[in-house]
C-alpha cells in the first residue's frame, strides 16, 4: 500500500511540475497505469483522457479503450459522474473538468432509448449537485457518414439530452449550454466497431 501511495504521490507531483505538453502526457499516462493496476478505473480514465488532451498517442488510446470497453454497457451513476468532475487531476493542471457519458439513442436518430433517459437522469442529479455552476453538453458522433450529417446529428442529440435533462431535474436552463462537434473530436481512431461506439458520446464540461 505504501509503495503504491508513494508512486502516486511522486507522479501527482510530476504532473504539477511538468512544463511541456509531452511531459504532462507522460506523467499522466504513468499515473493512469498506477490507478489501473489498483483497479481504480474511473481515476485511470480521467488521467488517460487528460493525457490525450496534451498529446495524441494511439498506444495510449488502446490502453484507455481497454478500460472503457469493460464499462461500456454500465450506467454511470450520479456519484460516479460527480467524482469524475471533481477529480484532483483537473485542479492540478488548471483544466476544465470533462466527463464522457454514453447516452443511448435509437439507431441513426436523436430519439432517446429508455436506457438513455435513465442515464440522463443520473447526469441531472450530478449536475444539480454542482450548485449553480455552468456546464456545456457536447454531442459527438463516430466518423461514419458525411461530415455535415454527423454535425447535424450531434447537435440534435445534444439538444435532446438538454431538453430531457431540464424535464427531469429542476435547474436553471441558463446554466446548461449545448453544442455538437460531429466527428471532429474522436477519442479513438482505430476504426473498429468498439471505437465507433465509444466515440458516440455526450461530453459534460464544467465552464
Q: β-strand 176-182 against 135-140: which pairing, if any? A: parallel
> What is the C-alpha separation between 71 and 36, in angstroms, rounded?
13
How many whole angstroms separate alpha carbon 168 and alpha carbon 41?
29
> What pTM did the predictor assign?
0.84
Judged by DSSP in three states, 136 sits in: strand
Q: Mind listing the pLDDT tens digit of every residue in the chain (207 residues)? A: 456 666 667 777 777 788 899 998 998 999 899 889 888 888 899 899 999 989 999 999 999 999 998 888 788 899 989 988 888 888 877 888 888 888 888 878 889 999 899 999 999 999 888 878 899 999 999 999 999 999 999 999 999 999 999 999 888 999 999 999 999 999 999 999 999 988 989 999 988
d(CA 31, CA 179) in angstroms, rounded, equals 31
| Assigned C-alpha cell, 205 | 464540461
- Give the pLDDT score at 86: 87
Helices (H) and strands (E) in the chain — how many of each?
9, 4
The candidate with the shortest Cα–Cα distance to 178, out of 195, 196, 166, is 166
Contact (Cβ atoms closer than 8 angstroms) between residue 29 and residue 14: no
- Please give the domain boundaries of the chain with CATH numbers for all domains: 2-70 (1.25.40.10), 78-206 (3.30.1330.60)
| Continuous segment of H or E residues that includes residue 3 | helix 2-17
d(CA 173, CA 22): 39
Phi, psi of 98 (to 5 degrees): -135, 135
List strands edge to edge, sheet with 98-101: 98-101, 201-206, 135-140, 176-182
Amino acid at each position: 500500500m505504501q509503495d503504491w501511495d508513494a508512486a502516486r504521490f511522486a507522479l501527482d507531483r510530476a504532473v504539477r511540475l511538468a512544463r511541456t505538453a509531452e511531459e504532462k502526457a507522460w506523467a499522466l499516462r504513468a499515473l493512469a497505469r498506477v490507478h489501473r493496476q489498483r483497479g481504480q478505473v474511473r481515476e485511470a480514465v480521467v488521467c488517460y483522457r487528460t493525457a490525450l488532451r496534451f498529446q495524441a498517442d494511439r498506444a495510449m488510446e488502446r490502453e484507455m479503450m481497454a478500460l472503457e470497453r469493460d464499462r461500456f454497457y454500465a450506467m454511470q451513476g450520479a456519484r460516479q459522474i460527480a467524482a469524475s468532475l471533481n477529480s484532483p487531476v483537473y485542479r492540478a493542471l488548471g483544466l476544465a473538468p470533462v466527463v464522457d457519458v454514453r447516452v443511448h439513442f435509437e439507431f441513426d436518430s436523436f430519439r432517446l432509448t429508455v436506457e438513455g433517459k435513465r442515464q440522463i437522469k443520473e447526469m441531472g442529479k450530478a449536475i444539480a449537485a454542482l450548485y449553480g455552476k455552468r456546464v456545456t453538453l457536447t454531442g459527438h458522433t463516430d466518423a461514419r457518414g458525411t461530415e455535415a450529417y454527423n454535425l447535424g446529428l450531434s447537435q440534435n442529440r445534444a439538444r435532446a439530452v438538454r431538453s430531457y435533462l431540464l424535464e427531469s431535474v429542476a435547474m436553471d436552463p441558463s446554466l446548461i449550454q449545448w453544442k455538437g462537434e460531429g466527428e471532429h473530436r474522436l477519442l479513438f481512431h482505430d476504426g473498429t466497431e468498439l471505437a465507433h461506439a465509444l466515440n458516440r458520446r455526450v461530453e459534460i464540461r464544467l465552464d
